[in-house]
A and B are shown apart, each in its own frame.
Chain A
Amino acid sequence: DIQMTQSPSTLSAFVGDRVTITCRASQSISSWLAWYQQKPGKAPKLLIYEASSLESGVPSRFSGSGSGTEFTLTISSLQPDDCATYYCQQYNSHYPTFGQGTKLEIK
């Protein structure tokens, strides 16, 4: 199985800050990587697919980059509504795997 490792596990930042979350794959996954946002008690929401493509309706302050084994999710200017847990997911194989999650808090 392909292992996905996110860092950091928790992150605290101010409104307006630029925030970056990193995801590393245990082997190359090309660009087959997605990012999700999950708020408490809610289903996950797709933000980014194919490493850098913004899902329809997602604010443009979210962006994704990377390929191979190293990927990042960036929020250009943190908003209060961005308080959530973020997960990366690889889908390079028929056996998708998720990172362990990054909990983002607002200072």
Chain B
Amino acid sequence: EVQLVESGGGQVKPGGSLRLSCAASGFTFSNFGINWVRQAPGKGLEWVSSINSDGTYIYYADSVKGRFTTSRDNGENSLFLQMNSLRAEDTAIYYCATSRSSYDNSFDYWGQGTQVTVSS
């Protein structure tokens, strides 16, 4: 059974940093791209970042470019999101989600999400 479990969320002051993790199991992690998607309170879904299967290609939304860094450790079946210079508007539930295939970037498996709150 595919499982994605996010962790690392919490409350942080504006300008602070957090590192999110997504632990994957039940599939060959190194074969699939994976993504971060967030959802602000009461709002819709916003794609944040994508990383391909071997970590050579990484893409970011304009809203987080230069502040967030996505990485993965295929040996540990884990995805990471380093978030720096956090702003109030980064407050959201952060989900990791797998890409369906190397050419189909629909998101077929999702974690349960981790809450990030940026507030003074």
Contact = CB atoms under 8 A, between A and B. Distances in A.
Whether both chains belong to one complex is answered with yes
Interface of A: 1, 32, 34, 36, 38, 43-46, 49-50, 55, 87, 89, 91, 94-101
B110 A50 contact: no
B106 interface: yes
B9 interface: no
A57 to B, nearest CB: 11
Contacts of B97: 43-44
Given A43-B113, A45-B110, A100 B104 contact: no
Interface in B68-101: 95, 97, 100
Contact of A46 (B35, B57, B108): B108
B45 A44 contact: yes
Contacts, number: 60
A43 B104 contact: no
Contacts of A46: 100, 106-108
Question: Chain B contact residues (Cβ within 8 angstroms of A): what range?
Answer: 20 to 34
A36 to B, nearest CB: 8
Interface of B: 35, 37, 44-47, 50, 57, 59, 61-62, 95, 97, 100, 104-108, 110-113
A63 to B, nearest CB: 16
Contact of A97 (B47, B104, B113): B47
List the 9 closest A-B pairs by CB distance, nearest first: A34-B106, A43-B110, A91-B105, A49-B106, A98-B45, A96-B47, A94-B59, A101-B44, A46-B108
A49 B50 contact: no
B59 A50 contact: no
Contacts of B95: 43-44
Contact of A95 (B45, B57, B61): B61
Contacts of A96: 35, 47, 50, 105
